[in-house]
Chains A and B, each alone.
Chain A
């Protein structure tokens, strides 16, 4: 199966290990990975700020680049950015040249954990991590991409990983793209409440499927001088893997029968 990796600008600029972990996990499950050279960014910084005209070029470039590899699927390590990719088909529906391509892009784009669970049918990625952790559910992944199950199932199956529920999991961490820089006063109260919620779980690790949320929450943890280890779900699922532990949905169904 051919997979084009949608690396996202945040991972390209800040988090190489997330990209590496994701690639290694995908390859472990038999994906032949490609990294389309000319991709840049999903366009949210300008689109969500109201600069729609300025965003057109970004969207066109992203479509051309991600479709330049003849892949079966496009997989990215960020729920929010993938939700944006899928929304191109709405924002470009009247674009004679790109409407069709945007629809094609939407049909084959998946967030990493969603792809593992929904397309590959994986429930246990074979990982092991001896720690107590909590999971931050990103707003866009949950509400816009509609994926509220995959990361929880996959994390529940990581050997020795104790997952503690995050209180007020439904509340935004206060990132919101340019919102975090444009409205720092409001953003701070939001991220502070999120940091407090994470602290209340006594988790050693905070996990998420959206690197930008992690950058925000982690940045506030660091500024407050509080300690937490932050991991992207791909890094967790790539920890101490024993392929013998790998389980698919169909294996579990068989057991249940």
Chain B
């Protein structure tokens, strides 16, 4: 399914998410805990806003000179005996990796967590090969795999939607007999996975940053599984989005610092490694080393108003501050890239037909823009998507479209607005009833708001289905009327 995690329409996914009280509680708890950890880690670093400036500059620079840096990186990988393959599409990428697996007679593949490998459906494609099995070695991804290949709901914490009891049940299918304590379950998974590691003949990892001037791959994890995936199997495949590149170790250091603090609230993750093909003086590492650099829609953003989405370093902090993600979770978005970054990126990669709803799944509160370590103006890009859909592609032909255009005319013409203000109180009587003596602003005096009758026009119903609407001010009681009178009284008193 590529980046889509569901075939259901957006409204249905939201409806399901709304019923999932466990997921909501779990996401809220994680968001609140991450808020404290993240802010503390950033504060401890100091001068966070200047770090953001630097992070943004590094990423913008790389995107601007992307072809040059990719070439430099590829040259350096090849100089050390590695191979680089540029894949235009997901299919080109998976075909290359499958061919390699066949050529090498691979039986057991170990993988570390990689969003781009999920994006191209690599696991499922590899398992189509006869005699090939795949093992996800990141604890969370392992849980998803053993739970009948459930989809990740967060780009950093893939199992955010599952609780420890659910995980215990998944592990019991593998012979686990212990309690639901996370430490015990992790120990079980560790033992289970270790055996698999030792037998693996192909390793697949993602890539946090590719270092252009040395051809090295920088991986950042807390479990060390990515390093084992790099060290043990003789054949190694790195899959990376084409934008995940930095000029040198110097820039990687800056971004790793920001990534760890933003993603998990740590100064640095437990493991932060830089590696590549085994060199002659190294005892472990792959002898056959392949880097698959994937476009798969990313170049749609190049040179457009969406280019800054490629600055993303996949820290997930925009998900962790998003009030919409808080309530609909990853499944609500229906993309492996959920949250604000997903709502911007998914339509860029896969188009508006599949993901046109996502840019509207935002109150534009700008918490995402505020937290983004590399200053992607996420909420502005959401408006930009809406702009492309409404003004340029004209995808909305509903009544709402007509209403919005009418509002556009009404808010641009003083005469029309004044007559609307004059008639608002009367017009609202069609849809509302209220005490005969109620006046606009009476909400402030009594804490009550006029109740509405149904049916009301469809667009207004979204509002009135869940909350009351205050009664519009009568024309002789509105602010402008008061102001005029007030000024006249001042003048009469001989004032101004």
* Residues on B with beta carbons closer than 8 Å to the beta carbon of A240: none
> Across the two chains, which residue of chain A brings its CB closest to B415?
A38
Bound CA span A181–B102, Å:
54
What number of B residues sit within 8 Å (CB to CB) of A? 79
Judge whether A134 is part of the interface by a CB distance below 8 angstroms: no
Bound CA span A73–B470, Å:
30
Category for how many chain A residues contact B: 35 or more
> Which residues of B (410-446) have their CB < 8 Å from a CB of A?
410-414, 417, 421, 424, 440-441, 443-444
* Residues on A with beta carbons closer than 8 Å to the beta carbon of B413: 40, 57, 61
Once the chains bind, are B479 and A187 in contact (CB under 8 Å)?
Answer: no
Q: A9-B417, A191-B467, A219-B470 are in contact. Are A51 and B483 (CB under 8 A)?
A: no
Once the chains bind, are A174 and B363 in contact (CB under 8 Å)?
Answer: yes
Which residue from A23, A35, A176 sits with its C-beta under 8 Å from B364?
Answer: A176
Q: A16-B473, A57-B408 are in contact. Are A184 and B483 (CB under 8 A)?
A: no
Q: A23-B483, A219-B449 are in contact. Are A171 and B360 (CB under 8 A)?
A: no
- B108 CB, nearest partner CB in chain A, Å: 43
Once the chains bind, are A182 and B417 in contact (CB under 8 Å)?
Answer: no
Bound CA span A128–B55, Å:
47
Judge whether B4 is part of the interface by a CB distance below 8 angstroms: no
Once the chains bind, are B390 and A49 in contact (CB under 8 Å)?
Answer: yes
0/1 interface trace, chain A 205-219, chain B, CB 8 Å (1 if under): 000000000011011
- B150 CB, nearest partner CB in chain A, Å: 23
Once the chains bind, are A12 and B35 in contact (CB under 8 Å)?
Answer: no
Which residue from A16, A58, A175 sits with its C-beta under 8 Å from B411?
Answer: A58
Q: A183-B361, A230-B444 are in contact. Are A19 and B386 (CB under 8 A)?
A: no
Judge whether B303 is part of the interface by a CB distance below 8 angstroms: no
Once the chains bind, are A55 and B363 in contact (CB under 8 Å)?
Answer: no
Once the chains bind, are A61 and B414 in contact (CB under 8 Å)?
Answer: yes
> Across the two chains, which residue of chain B brings its CB closest to A176?
B363
* Residues on B with beta carbons closer than 8 Å to the beta carbon of A18: 441, 479
Judge whether B26 is part of the interface by a CB distance below 8 angstroms: no
* Residues on A with beta carbons closer than 8 Å to the beta carbon of B460: 181
Q: How many A-B residue pairs have CB under 8 A?
A: 243
| Highest count of chain A CB atoms <10 Å: which of B411, B413, B414, B462 | B411
Majority SS at the chain B contact face: helix
- B464 CB, nearest partner CB in chain A, Å: 9
> Across the two chains, which residue of chain B brings its CB closest to A226?
B447
Judge whether B468 is part of the interface by a CB distance below 8 angstroms: yes
Bound CA span A237–B440, Å:
20
| Highest count of chain A CB atoms <10 Å: which of B32, B328, B365 | B365
> Across the two chains, which residue of chain B brings its CB closest to A60?
B412
Judge whether A92 is part of the interface by a CB distance below 8 angstroms: no
Once the chains bind, are B365 and A143 in contact (CB under 8 Å)?
Answer: yes
Which of B10-18, B159-167, B216-224, B275-283 contacts the other chain?
A: B10-18
0/1 interface trace, chain B 467-490, chain A, CB 8 Å (1 if under): 111111100011111111010000
- B75 CB, nearest partner CB in chain A, Å: 40
Which residue from B327, B407, B470 sits with its C-beta under 8 Å from A186?
Answer: B327
Which residue from B18, B35, B481 sits with its C-beta under 8 Å from A170?
Answer: B35
Once the chains bind, are A16 and B407 in contact (CB under 8 Å)?
Answer: no
Judge whether B463 is part of the interface by a CB distance below 8 angstroms: yes
* Residues on A with beta carbons closer than 8 Å to the beta carbon of B444: 15, 17, 229-232, 235
Once the chains bind, are A15 and B468 in contact (CB under 8 Å)?
Answer: no
- B233 CB, nearest partner CB in chain A, Å: 44
Q: A41-B417, A170-B35 are in contact. Are A223 and B412 (CB under 8 A)?
A: no
Judge whether B496 is part of the interface by a CB distance below 8 angstroms: yes
Once the chains bind, are B449 and A218 in contact (CB under 8 Å)?
Answer: yes
* Residues on A with beta carbons closer than 8 Å to the beta carbon of B383: 47-48, 50
- B20 CB, nearest partner CB in chain A, Å: 11
Which residue from A52, A177, A182, A228 sits with its C-beta under 8 Å from B400?
Answer: A182
Once the chains bind, are B462 and A14 in contact (CB under 8 Å)?
Answer: no
0/1 interface trace, chain B 259-278, chain A, CB 8 Å (1 if under): 00000000000000000000
Bound CA span A43–B478, Å:
21
Once the chains bind, are B483 and A19 in contact (CB under 8 Å)?
Answer: yes
Majority SS at the chain A contact face: helix
Which residue from A17, A19, A54, A232 sits with its C-beta under 8 Å from B408?
Answer: A54
Judge whether A201 is part of the interface by a CB distance below 8 angstroms: no
Judge whether B94 is part of the interface by a CB distance below 8 angstroms: no
Once the chains bind, are B466 and A184 in contact (CB under 8 Å)?
Answer: yes
0/1 interface trace, chain A 30-67, chain B, CB 8 Å (1 if under): 00100101111101011111111111111011000100
Which residue from B326, B362, B405 sits with its C-beta under 8 Å from A176?
Answer: B362
Judge whether A164 is part of the interface by a CB distance below 8 angstroms: no
> Across the two chains, which residue of chain A brings its CB closest to B462?
A181
* Residues on A with beta carbons closer than 8 Å to the beta carbon of B53: none
Once the chains bind, are A12 and B443 in contact (CB under 8 Å)?
Answer: no
- A94 CB, nearest partner CB in chain B, Å: 13
- B204 CB, nearest partner CB in chain A, Å: 36
Q: A12-B421, A58-B408 are in contact. Are A179 and B479 (CB under 8 A)?
A: no
Q: A15-B470, A143-B369, A219-B469 are in contact. Are A177 and B411 (CB under 8 A)?
A: no
Bound CA span A193–B220, Å:
35
Once the chains bind, are B321 and A170 in contact (CB under 8 Å)?
Answer: yes
Bound CA span A17–B443, Å:
10
Judge whether A246 is part of the interface by a CB distance below 8 angstroms: no
Bound CA span A137–B449, Å:
22
* Residues on A with beta carbons closer than 8 Å to the beta carbon of B362: 176, 179
Judge whether A220 is part of the interface by a CB distance below 8 angstroms: yes
Q: 4 closest A-B pairs (Cβ-Cβ)?
A: A176-B363, A50-B386, A54-B408, A57-B412
* 10 A–B contacts from the bound complex (CB under 8 Å): A46-B407, A46-B408, A50-B385, A51-B387, A52-B387, A57-B412, A140-B366, A144-B366, A183-B360, A223-B466
Q: What 13 new A-B contacts, CB under 8 Å, besides A47-B383, A51-B387, A219-B467?
A: A13-B440, A35-B480, A40-B413, A49-B404, A54-B404, A58-B411, A179-B364, A180-B462, A182-B400, A182-B462, A186-B14, A218-B447, A228-B447
Interface residues of A (CB under 8 A from B): 5, 7, 9, 11-20, 23, 32, 35, 37-41, 43, 45-58, 60-61, 65, 139-140, 143-144, 168, 170-172, 174-191, 193, 215-216, 218-223, 227-232, 235
